[in-house]
Amino acid sequence: MALIRGLRGLYPCPICFVKAEQQSDLAVTSDLRTAHHAQAAVEKARTLNAERAEQSLKHLGLRNVNTVSNLSFNDGSKHEDISKIMIYAVHNILTDRLGLLLLHCVRGYMELNMYVGLELHTTNTIAAGRRQLEKFGELMKEYIAACEGTEFEDKKWNFIKMHLHKHVFNDIEQKGVTKNFGTKIDEAMHGPARAAYLRQTNFNNVAPQILRSLHRRMVGKYILEQLDDLDALWEDEDGDAPVDLDNVDPLDLEEFGNVVVGAKHKVISFLALETAMKQYLAFVNFRIRFSDFLSDFLPAYGHALPGGKRVRFIPEQEITPYRYLKVFFQSLDNWEDETD
């Protein structure tokens, strides 16, 4: 908060003593900052005269706080969204070696960010995340080396957010998943809080004024939701509520284990189905592709193939189409029961 770490510091990381010029090298492991280190530095400085004490603390990046800077910020999620689609949007634009290396780095970062953002971690996911961190570090080294002698040579990669990936999986092991200690969960509040600060405060002692504005906003939102619920209740009683047919379950549901099917149609042969749906690419060679799918699917899930041979259908064989499918499953992301 006092900005004695971070940008322009000799040892900018708040967690370890990595040097400023080594932040982009994710293979470097530096000593961790501890209370003992801080106390020892202060006690040593107290034994020195003012000038030598200042030099001793300066070497560690410690400063007295003279002023507090005014910082403006925005929700960074838009940059994350842009990063996700950038690979697909520019892969045919950045076609030279340097551009392709950059796209490799972006993909490596997005895969690392995926592991960091998981809402449930296991030993395996943390190990996979550490491997991806090493891979991302190697990609960055390759890209930085390739930039030498080009117009991008002066680009600096030694900044704090680059280096902090080095510590993220240790933090996850110590504190839990990143949503427990990250700031992203609060970013939705930035807009209302900033609007309240700019429009409804006198810029002095702003905390109570912002709190009062946000409280009024929440009360108004609660009243509006109550009115909406009342309107919906009256519509239901009058029978005037619009029916969303896309979200209405059919009446002829049939259950098979964790799968529910419905909207049953008449029996039809493969030949008739392919003829009737010939304008849709999904049904081109549907019989053959369906046979191949079952031949691969059944052994993969421990089911024997009929007669030990790959599944074969003839054009005249009939099937029963269903146009409704609901699956109950356990999410691999958070282990919760989900429905799709």
Mean pLDDT score, 133-160: 92
The model's pTM: 0.53
Residue in this structure with the two tokens 């009024």, named with its chain if needed: 216
**CB neighbours of 179 closer than 8 A, spacing ≥ 6?**
117, 119, 185
* pLDDT for res 286: 93
Q: Sign of the CA dihedral 183, 188, 193, 195?
A: positive
Q: How many CB atoms are located within 10 Å of the residue 169 CB?
A: 20
* pLDDT for res 268: 93
Mean pLDDT score, 113-130: 92
Q: What does the domain layout of the chain look like in residue ranges?
A: 1-69+84-182, 189-238, 254-339
* pLDDT for res 185: 58
Instruction: Give the Å distances, CA to CA, from 305 to 144, 309, 317.
Output: 53, 6, 18
Q: Which residues of 245-268 are buried (b: 16+ CB within 10 A; e: fewer)?
A: eeeeeeeeeeeeeeebbbeeeeee
For residue range 319-340, what is the model confidence (pLDDT) as tens digits?
A: 999 989 999 999 877 788 899 8
Task: Label residue 24 by pLDDT band (50, 70, 90).
Answer: confident
3-class DSSP state of 262: strand
Mean pLDDT score, 214-240: 86
Mean pLDDT score, 299-318: 92
Q: Please tell me the least confidently modeled range out of 88-92, 112-116, 214-218, 294-298.
A: 88-92
Question: Which token pair is 155?
Answer: 């680009």
Residue in this structure with the two tokens 């930085």, named with its chain if needed: 144
* pLDDT for res 234: 85
* pLDDT for res 3: 42
Q: Sign of the CA dihedral 139, 145, 151, 154?
A: positive
Task: Label residue 1 by pLDDT band (50, 70, 90).
Answer: very low
Rounded CA-CA distance 70/203 in Å is: 13
**Element spanning 225, H or E:** helix 206-238
Instruction: Give the Å distances, CA to CA, from 39 to 11, 42, 55, 212, 252.
Output: 17, 5, 17, 41, 73
Bridge partners (DSSP) listed for residue 47: none
Mean pLDDT of the chain: 84
Q: Where are the alpha helices (DSSP H) in 16-71?
A: 35-46, 50-59
The type of residue at 94 is L
For residue range 36-95, what is the model confidence (pLDDT) as tens digits?
A: 887 888 888 888 888 888 877 777 666 655 544 444 445 556 677 777 888 888 888 888
Rounded CA-CA distance 83/162 in Å is: 15
Nearest to 4 by CA among 63, 47, 52, 54: 63
Instruction: Give the Å distances, CA to CA, from 53 to 38, 44, 84, 216.
Output: 14, 8, 48, 51
Rounded CA-CA distance 271/213 in Å is: 67
Q: How many CB atoms are located within 10 Å of the residue 180 CB?
A: 11
* pLDDT for res 295: 94
Question: Which token pair is 146?
Answer: 């390739």
* pLDDT for res 39: 83
* pLDDT for res 73: 46
Q: How many CB atoms are located within 10 Å of the residue 112 CB?
A: 22
Rounded CA-CA distance 126/172 in Å is: 8
